[in-house]
Amino acid sequence: MGYKTIIGLEIHTELMTKTKMFCSCANSFGNEANTNCCPVCVGLPGALPVINETAIEYAIKAGIALNSNIITNTRMDRKNYFYSDLVKGYQISQDDLPLCEGGFIEIELGDGTKKVNLQRIHIEEDTGKQTHTTEGDTLIDYNRSGVPLIEIVTKPDMNTPEEARLFLEKLRATLKYIEVSDCKMEEGSLRCDVNINVVDSETGEKTNITEIKNLNSFRGAVKAMEFEEKRHIALLKEGKNTVRETRRWDEVKNETITMRQKLGVADYRFAADGDLAPLVIDNKWIEDIRSNLPELPHDKKERFIDEYNLEPYDAGVLTASKDLAAFYEETIKYVNDPKLVSNWIMGDVLRRLKDEEVEIEDVSLTPKALGQLISIVKDGKINNNTGKKVLKEMFDTGKDPETIVKEQGLIQISDEGELKGIIEKILDENEQSIIDFKNGKDRALGFLVGQIMKASRGKANPQLVNKMLTDMLNER
Amino acid sequence: MDITKLSAFEMKKKLHQKEITSRELIEAHFNKIEEIDGNINAFITLDKTEALKSADKVDEKIRNGERVGLLGGIPIGVKDNIMTKGIRTTCGSKMLENFIPPYNATIVNRIKEADGIIMGKTNMDEFAMGSSTETSYFGNTKNPIDTERVPGGSSGGSAAAVKACEVALSLGTDTGGSIRQPASYCDVVGIKPTYGIVSRYGVVSMANTLDQVGVFGRDVRDAVLMLSSITGYDEKDSTSFKNPEGTIIFGSFPEEIDYNNYLKGMKVGLPKEIFGNEIDIRIKDQITKSINIIEALGAEIEEISLPHLEYSLAAYYIISTSEVSSNLARFDGVRYGYRAKEYNTLDELYINSRSEAFGEEVKRRIMLGTYSLSSGYADEHYKKALKVRTLIKNDFDKAFSKYDVILSPTSPVLPFKFGEIKDPLSMYMADLFTVPVNLAGLCAMSIPCGYVDNLPVGIQLIGDKYKEANIFKAGLGLEGGLKNGL
């Protein structure tokens, strides 16, 4: 007995054009409410839209990067509905002729690669943003009204929340790679709706599709899907079915909650937007965009394996984000040791990013500083452990490694005379350990090294200490 | 001498010869308005302070010998669905009773750049829906020729203001005949130019694929002057026509017009579908008289066929109301305009605001359009109407491959009395001959061609897309012929 989960996603991504979709207002996040507004984006009577060509270019770029077909004869439609964040009473969108058809993303699972197919990618404008006050008022900020979006609709090809997460990560990486969106979920520039249902593999019985709206973090999306998966299975077990409805994820209660039931199909009364001429896209334009597309994650990974001789896994991690890959390649410029740099980034740097839940582009650590640090360690000026401490300090303070090493007096002691003094002092203090060593107890050597490192405040050159200690022990 | 009765051209001449000042001219028109507009009601809002200020600027330019724009110092009325920054723009509706736009329509800026003087905003059918200016929230405009009769609609205020010499020129909008039909009823010239040659930016959309801004003047030359000043590509309007050959408007204005030459060799078509129609015989007589003049002035006249014309009105009312239902959705009480005082939910806010602030005709058309666009009906109504529209376009394309101008009466009926037509469908018939032009995106002009029982008759001259020159020539020829009693 088993159950099969079916997941399809709809992802809205804001395009990072300088200006809005249909007017010349600034497309920027975080400005004072209602300051990036003109007659067009607040839908004043008489205002008319004019298409921002860059938005179309970005949408084509996304289509190419996601392996879609670009439709050269398309148009913009009106999707009519009433809502207070929607200024014109209709949203300019695309109905039966989306800009991009089909496409796919490959995700890597434990047992191989899986292709998640796309249905379509279409262009539309974003709506305003509402805030509900505790007094019961609704405040509307129209700065977001008219920001260009693409909506990416997948086929129901994913079967676990984990697959959906991998898909979303790959999608985000790709969109960031081609620089059409910053994909910041917390700023709403990437928003995800999930369609999910479950089939009983034996009886073939299915639950009705539930839609979970406006998930604003990957973690939330995965949790919501896991919750729904369980809920649907439980219902099937009880011989019940789900209601065809839209739900939302409640982060506090850790559960999905009914928003509204879908009784009939919403009638948007779609019609071509006569204010905008049909979109006829020149094939040459598409080819120009294609040939100027930056290196995509998959190609970059292959190149990292070839060029830097990295393990496929490491190359995959380093190229998962464009910024991380760039950080890696930039660091190599300062210390030409691809393998060593990879180890540092794969280890301490990524751990640090994960602990602090930040992205590489948001930290004060620079490739130059990391390169310097690795050089210092490589040259034996400080040892590996000290290096790790310095890296932490660099993360916290943004200081460069030389300064930290100098300020804290961390330069490794490789001076044999100085080391000899320290070693002799420790040997004098630990006669029992010398006896133990002579009696073949290897642990004694480790203890002595530890004591020497402690006495040197971690600065002693470990290789040198090891060699000198053995020599000096034998001399005693 | 009553300077308000001069043509715009004559006014310009007197201004340049310093016989009058723009201030005098504008004051004279405001006096005229004060005197008669209580009776005519052509204006919703006047802007005397700004108008006089602008007039003084023009006078100063003239005094200093500076270049003055094409409309320098001339009093102009602007239909109240065209955005004027700082001057309330109501669309003849309670919905926008107190709406003061923060921006100007492109054409308003063009009038200002051409030194035209905007006197105020003229009355209209609510949101340009109507054929009689009876649906205005601000009361009827009366026909200056007979105040018991309608001035036509929806640009009735603009037509009446020109006829009553309250302004020399005015702007209107024409979605299915809203310039030509009131021009015909008020005995003035009205031009509906080719779709796209005048910017719609800042003009409140009724049915956006049919709407076209156009002009009124008391003679053809004045109307063309007005049109020349506002045409041209506008990057803010995606449907704006980018004319590669520069201006398409009738080029220069000769001091004396020799009407004898304009019609020579012109090929004129008379659609049998229109003339076979049951037109008021008195109207038909006047049109026949004009046709004879046109022929006498050297045009070749032939009967033509536009087989799909009979479906125009049906297609027009499906398409226009569908677009209306979408275009008027933005009036929801949320951001501007009327908001109901009482509501509990967001839906009630919309429903109450729209129920209380839209008039009956507007509601009727929104409902019709919503129905036509709704899923399940869109195929049999909206999409079918679009197919009919293509057939009508094709009919005209075929005709214009052979003919320069197509003729028809402007309206099948004479100006009617207030309240005379109660059935909305009969009212829609007033647009019978004008709507095909909007469906096909052509240019057309109505010019006065005689009187029947003291009521004016208009003749419609239809031209191909961007061939305004043809209807201007035909219009100047016919107008001259009529004046000279041919």
Which residues of chain B neighbour A277 with C-beta distances below 8 Å? 238-239
* Per-position DSSP letters for B445-457, written without gaps between them: EEEEEEEETTEEE
Phi, psi of B55, rounded to the nearest 5 degrees = -60, -45
The CA distance from A248 to A366, in Å, is 40
Mean pLDDT, to the nearest integer, of B116-122? 98
Alpha-helical (H) ranges within A186-268 are 218-237
Which residues numbered 112-131 in B keep a CB inside 8 Å of some CB on A?
none
pLDDT of residue A469: 83
Distances (CA, A) of B161 to B40, B42, B165, B202, B458: 8, 6, 6, 22, 17
Mean pLDDT, to the nearest integer, of B100-110? 98
Which residues numbered 248-307 in B keep a CB inside 8 Å of some CB on A?
none
Beta carbons within 8 Å of A314's beta carbon, 6+ residues apart: A342, A346
Q: Which residue of chain B is at minimal alpha-carbon distance from A92?
A: B326
The CA distance from B47 to B40, in Å, is 18
The CA distance from B79 to B42, in Å, is 10
A269 touches chain B (CB under 8 A): yes
A49 touches chain B (CB under 8 A): yes
B102 touches chain A (CB under 8 A): yes
The CA distance from B91 to A154, in Å, is 45
Lowest mean pLDDT among A193-197, A234-238, B211-215, B297-301: A234-238
- Give the best residue of B127, B213, B335, B344 to mutate against chain A (max A CB count within 10 A): B335
Which residues of chain B neighbour A140 with C-beta distances below 8 Å? 334
pLDDT digit string, tens, across residues A270-321: 999 999 999 999 999 999 999 999 999 889 999 999 999 999 889 989 998 8
Contact A57, A289 (CB under 8 A): yes
Residue of A291, A380, A373, A277 lying closest to A334 (CA atoms): A373
The CA distance from A288 to A293, in Å, is 9
Element (H, E) at A303: helix A297-308
The CA distance from A259 to A243, in Å, is 12
Mean pLDDT, to the nearest integer, of B315-324? 97
Half-sphere exposure (Cβ direction) of B367: Cα atoms closer than 13 Å: 9
Which residues numbered 78-97 in A keep a CB inside 8 Å of some CB on B?
78, 80, 82-84, 87-90
Mean pLDDT, to the nearest integer, of A124-150? 95
Contact B127, B208 (CB under 8 A): no
Mean pLDDT, to the nearest integer, of B52-60? 98
- Give the best residue of A20, A22, A24, A44 to mutate against chain B (max B CB count within 10 A): A44
The CA distance from B177 to B434, in Å, is 5
Annotation marks residue B178 as catalytic: yes
pLDDT of residue B250: 58
pLDDT of residue A216: 85
Half-sphere exposure (Cβ direction) of B446: Cα atoms closer than 13 Å: 32
Q: Which amino acid belongs to residue A287?
A: E
Tell me how far apart the terminal alpha carbons of chain B are, to the nearest angstrom.
Answer: 29
Catalytic residue among B54, B136, B154, B184: B154
Element (H, E) at B110: helix B106-113
A–B CB contacts, 8 A cutoff, strictly below: 101
Residue A242: pLDDT band (50, 70, 90) is: confident
Q: Do B101 and A44 touch (CB under 8 A)?
A: yes
**From the CA of B204, how many Å to the nearest CA of chain A?**
4
The CA distance from B388 to B379, in Å, is 13
Mean pLDDT, to the nearest integer, of A211-240? 93
Q: Do B330 and A277 touch (CB under 8 A)?
A: no
Q: Which amino acid belongs to residue B92?
A: G
pLDDT of residue A438: 82
Contact A12, A185 (CB under 8 A): no
Lowest mean pLDDT among A310-314, B356-360, B438-442: A310-314
In the predicted structure, residue B278 carries a pLDDT above the cut 90? no
pLDDT of residue B188: 98
In the predicted structure, residue B248 carries a pLDDT above the cut 60? no
- What percent of chain A is modeled with pLDDT above 90? 65
* Per-position DSSP letters for B324-357, written without gaps between them: HHHHGGG-SSSSSS---S--SSHHHHHHHHHHHH
Which residues numbered 247-266 in A keep a CB inside 8 Å of some CB on B?
265
- When CB atoms are compared, the residue of A45, A80, A275 closest to B238 is A275
Phi, psi of A14, rounded to the nearest 5 degrees = -75, 135
pLDDT of residue B251: 56
Mean pLDDT, to the nearest integer, of A55-77? 98
Burial of B162 (0-12, 13-18, 19+ CB in 10 A): buried
The CA distance from A297 to A318, in Å, is 10
Residue of B298, B288, B217 lying closest to B258 (CA atoms): B298
In the predicted structure, residue B22 carries a pLDDT above the cut 90? yes
The CA distance from B336 to B96, in Å, is 8
Residue B245: pLDDT band (50, 70, 90) is: low
Which residues of chain A neighbour B387 with C-beta distances below 8 Å? none
Which pair of tokens denotes residue B369? 């359009």
Residue of B202, B201, B204 lying closest to B178 (CA atoms): B204
Which residues of chain B neighbour A274 with C-beta distances below 8 Å? 208-209, 239, 323
In the predicted structure, residue A466 carries a pLDDT above the cut 70? yes
Phi, psi of B146, rounded to the nearest 5 degrees = -155, 105
Beta carbons within 8 Å of A56's beta carbon, 6+ residues apart: A99, A123, A279, A281
**From the CA of B81, how many Å to the nearest CA of chain A?**
8
**From the CA of B376, how many Å to the nearest CA of chain A?**
10
- When CB atoms are compared, the residue of B99, B239, B323 closest to A277 is B239
Strand, coil or helix: A196: strand
**From the CA of A43, how many Å to the nearest CA of chain B?**
7
- When CB atoms are compared, the residue of B99, B238, B332 closest to A82 is B332
Residue B249: pLDDT band (50, 70, 90) is: low
Residue B246: pLDDT band (50, 70, 90) is: low
Question: Which has more pLDDT, B378 or B243?
Answer: B378
Which residues of chain B neighbour A141 with C-beta distances below 8 Å? none
Question: Which has more pLDDT, A354 or B89?
Answer: B89
Contact A427, A419 (CB under 8 A): no
pLDDT of residue A357: 83
pLDDT of residue A243: 86
The CA distance from A269 to A79, in Å, is 6
**From the CA of B286, how many Å to the nearest CA of chain A?**
38
The CA distance from B436 to B231, in Å, is 22
* Per-position DSSP letters for A106-155, written without gaps between them: EEEETTEEEEEEEEEEEEEE---EEEE-TTS-EEEEGGGTT-EEEEEEE-
Average model confidence (pLDDT) across chain B? 95
Tell me how far apart the terminal alpha carbons of chain A are, to the nearest angstrom.
Answer: 73
A140 touches chain B (CB under 8 A): yes
Q: Do B239 and A140 touch (CB under 8 A)?
A: no
Contact B225, B70 (CB under 8 A): yes
Catalytic residue among B22, B136, B170, B178: B178
The CA distance from B155 to B159, in Å, is 6
Distances (CA, A) of B194 to B72, B197, B238, B239: 25, 6, 15, 11
pLDDT of residue B100: 98
Beta carbons within 8 Å of B76's beta carbon, 6+ residues apart: B111, B116, B117, B118, B119, B167, B168, B169, B170, B171, B226
pLDDT of residue B203: 98
Residue B165: pLDDT band (50, 70, 90) is: very high
A279 touches chain B (CB under 8 A): no
- When CB atoms are compared, the residue of A44, A45, A90 closest to B326 is A90
pLDDT digit string, tens, across residues A395-421: 888 888 888 888 877 777 777 888 888
- When CB atoms are compared, the residue of B322, B328, B331 closest to A271 is B322
The CA distance from A334 to A345, in Å, is 14
Annotation marks residue B79 as catalytic: yes
Beta carbons within 8 Å of B25's beta carbon, 6+ residues apart: B3, B11, B15, B55, B73, B74, B75
pLDDT digit string, tens, across residues B250-273: 555 556 678 888 999 999 999 998
Which residues of chain A neighbour B378 with C-beta distances below 8 Å? 269, 271
Which residues of chain B neighbour A84 with C-beta distances below 8 Å? 332, 334, 346
pLDDT of residue B254: 59
The CA distance from A419 to A361, in Å, is 41
In the predicted structure, residue B247 carries a pLDDT above the cut 60? no
Q: Could you tell me which residues are beta bridge partners of residue A371?
A: none
Q: Could you tell me which residues are beta bridge partners of residue B41?
A: none
Burial of B429 (0-12, 13-18, 19+ CB in 10 A): middle
Mean pLDDT, to the nearest integer, of B202-224? 97
B92 touches chain A (CB under 8 A): no
Which residues of chain B neighbour A78 with C-beta distances below 8 Å? 326
